[in-house]
Structure 1
């Protein structure tokens, strides 16, 4: 098991992860950090918890829009046989994001 430290909204979060997932977690934390900065710029004086709440809401909104867009595309365009592996890969990534969110949520709640 590997350990890494993520910096989000000016705070360091030590996290354990599977070996080799450190770079992916670092990338995800940069996405969260970007949204946290947007929240802080949009509403100065937010507490750390509210900053992270708004960052999570921004990301959830984007994810919701992407899911809605993907669902609309699925109904409009039938998948070709060669598109099936790509569709499965996207579904696997979405499941992985949800799993990471579930894993990180208790750590954020404790902060």
Structure 2
């Protein structure tokens, strides 16, 4: 089982993968790294954990938007974002999380 060195958020990781999946792993790591850099650029100095948290939230938001049929045009560049776009996406995510928290509080569900 090969190990692949990737860099995400200015930190290097060694990750094991199946033979033949090395390039795919590098590609998805580059996407996560791009989102981590977007988050750091939009929100300023973030610790590693928060940078990865916001990168995950941005990626999850993108997945949900695509599932809802709001995918970006096919010719859109992978990392073609600006700080305002990232900040807007994070604001939408924060609003969604607050709504979920309110719903859980109202229904008495443990958080």
Task: Please list the CA deviations of residues 21-69 of structure 1 after superposition, one character each: whole Å capped at 9, or x if unmatched.
Answer: 1100100011111101110101111100000000000000000111111
Q: Normalization by structure 1: what TM-score? A: 0.61
CA RMSD of aligned residues (A): 1.1
Equivalent residue number for residue 88 of structure 1: none
1:34-49 counterparts in 2 under 5 A?
34-49=34-49
Q: Normalization by structure 2: what TM-score? A: 0.61
Can you give the 5+ residue segments of structure 2 that lack an aligned partner in the other structure? 71-111
Equivalent residue number for residue 4 of structure 2: 4
Can you give the 5+ residue segments of structure 1 that lack an aligned partner in the other structure? 71-111
Question: Relative contact order, CA 8 A, sep 6+: which one is greater?
Answer: 2
Count of equivalent residues: 70
Structure ranking higher in helix proportion: 1
